[in-house]
Structure 1
Amino acid sequence: MDNAGGDPYTGYENYFNSENWLILLILLILSLVIFASIKAGGHALKRFRSYFDESELGNNSALTRMALNISDNFKTYSYAEHVASTVIFAVSAVVFYEFVFHFAFIHNADDALKIALLTLSIVIFGILSYIFGVVIPRNYASKNLIFSARFFALLFRMIFLITFPIVHLIKFIDNKTKNNFQKDDSDSAANEGTEEIRYLIEESSKSGYLDEDDHELMENVIDFTETTVKQIMVPRNKIVAAEINSESQVIIGKIIEEGYSRMPVFEKTIDNIIGIVNTRDILIAQMHGKLDDLRDFLRETVYTKENENIDALLKILQQKRLQLAVVLDAFGGTAGIVTMEDILEELVGEIQDEYDEEQALVEFVSENSFIVKASASIVDLNEILPKELPESDDYETLGGLITTETETIPESGEQHVLFGYNMVILNRSNRYIETVRLDLLSDE
């Protein structure tokens, strides 16, 4: 048809018939399903080996072996996934645009309406792509990991074979780019590995593979390798120590008052800690009248830096069979001390020993104001507080409730109005809330 200089849309009447409308709809649905399948397959196959091996699967079928092979080499297969999903995404976008354009044409829409429809189509397609590309694949693959990995293994293998030349070109460019712009590839790889482990832990928890306690413990293990001595040490101004030339009665009085099993000993200044004494040794010596010189009871101590990782310090303390280390600042002075107990608490949470003062769950400040330990269970608090807090499978403690509702670990001083209370964070550690003030709000 000759249409020079005429309406650019003339001649589309035959193209936009009911049959083509149906074809466009089918193509759109099909492309979105394929897009979701690729994403679900990638999600499942990436984690397949992390959860299972051949002995656990009990089914050494060809698809199982293929799924394990892809999982073991997912870095290479991920390039194919990105290429295929990008192509399918582009096809889906074009089909969706044609679908919207068809609607605009058959209704004789003017230019303004066509622009509005195009803008709306972009928004709608963005929502659809997120649902089909993220929400559905992630949730489905997490709940059906073994089936998804086996089912999509063949699809991934086919995609890899089809995109083989493009994949190797992209991989070559990627490697060259890394070599040019990445100074420390090993650090980057370690960071990627850590983030991948974090993601696996989070997904395992969501899928029910890990309960709340196991999830918290595994998160602590990851954080453990990244935590420095400075973050957990007892600071200089809170150190309880004895001067080497102190009279025995002064030392005994300190031991009885503080109740610590070990005590640093310094000479003239706290910046010169020369050893550690076991308070049990001191008390026994005093009973037998042999506490003449504190130097006779000094034990070896370990000196460490503020930026030392606590996992490295733990190994040193274990090798030397010591319980306490002195932390030095940049000038060689005493910055603080750190104990084996402090380090282990970073893994398993607060350790209450026989010398620790037992704190009440709730301290009543006034009729409507309470200071509460964040580790207190919601069930116990509901027996004490005037207004009950909601119970949930997502958390067990007050700290868990706050972090679940705020989706973060609030800083000290932050305030959040939750379930009839103004909750003020009084203290928090590096990874969890310690104490909270609850101010009951008026129902008005």
Structure 2
Amino acid sequence: MDILPTLLDLLLVVFLIFMNGFFVAAEFCCVKIRPSRLETLIAEGVSRAKYAKQLTDHLDSSLSVTQLGITLASLGLGWVGEPAIAVLILPATQHMGLPDEVGHTVALAIAFTLITSLHIVLGELTPKSMAIANVERILLAISFPMVLFGRVMRPFVWVLNTVANHISRKLGYEAKGENEDAHTEEEIRLLMKESYRQGLINSTEADFVDKVFSFTELNAREIMVPRTDMICLYLDDSPAERIKTIIEEQQTRYPVCYEDKDHIIGFIHVKDLLPPLMRGERLNLRRYIRKALIVPESMDGSILLRTMQEQGSQLAIVVDEYGGTAGMVTVEDIIEQIVGDIRDEFDVERESVEWRGLDICSIDAKLLLEEVDDLLGVCIVDEDVDSIGGWLYDQLGEAPRVGQMAAHAGALLYVEEVDGIRITRVLVRLSHTMLVVQELPAAHGGK
């Protein structure tokens, strides 16, 4: 047996296993790395990040290059490795007294098993694990040689991709473009939940993203302060009555009405009234009325926010399909849909959800049905009403009285507080089955 050729073949085997691992690591790194992280590294002046960015920007081509490299290395390993190992094993089979044909077959079988094991363990599994554990560091290390190899092999890769895409189209499958692998809204929600579960983001960040998506599904009617809760100033009121309302309610802006809330002529900002009041002048409300933005109750929340930003308006009047006032909405109301309640030193409102035990809670009647489902697991679907108070009113079929009750899906809903004929608070008693399904204590603390 000639030692030098055998030694060279063994060195070539080691090299091919290394190259196979190189391309496997490159493949996993290209898929796992976050493009935003590469942009950050480029901004920090890491030169190798530019080459890595070239790989991720042309992911289809990069993966084709890695597959070509893996295939060439694997074929070369089988071509060179098996004979090289078999030559080392043949003397042992001859020493055992096996016939040449049998000994050759045994040597090839052992060589095949050994090469396959080395290929899988050192050429596939180990580099894959290393790449997943050290994506950034490994990608930066291999990006430049990968770019060079890709440029050399570009003609071959183009031919192979063209043939593969042609065959795919013949089979009825259209190849996806490089920018078509985007995530849907539901996928992003799942990614955020998984990131929170693994401790990569906190609960506030996860909740924030979830509310951003939920906000796009809301309309002005679901965001607004309802007509019955609007605090207005009336032209027919005396100056003393207006000042009393402003002092008691402690709001910044008030709609101004003529006769009733269906005749809103604008709104006033309290700061505009301070100078004349400080000077002791008689308050002429009409002089300080600002034009109010009028929007339909069906307007999407995202469009409503953009419209208010473009108009520079902090307050909008929401009208129904008949032109009557349905309610009003402020920028703060919209922002609260995303970040939660924003309270200042004048806010004395109760919590939207007040727990009074493991299975009993008091909720604001203005909570949307979807919010009640999210918070309590009480799923109510009704196209005719939006709020839990409206649903309970509809179930009673008469002017509500404290203590009246309606049942739904194992939950008991009671009228807890009323204001005239309007339900303001609802008491909810949950069934034992619903408590088992939910982790209710985690929800304690309200909206």
TM-score (norm 1): 0.49
TM-score (norm 2): 0.49
Larger radius of gyration: 2
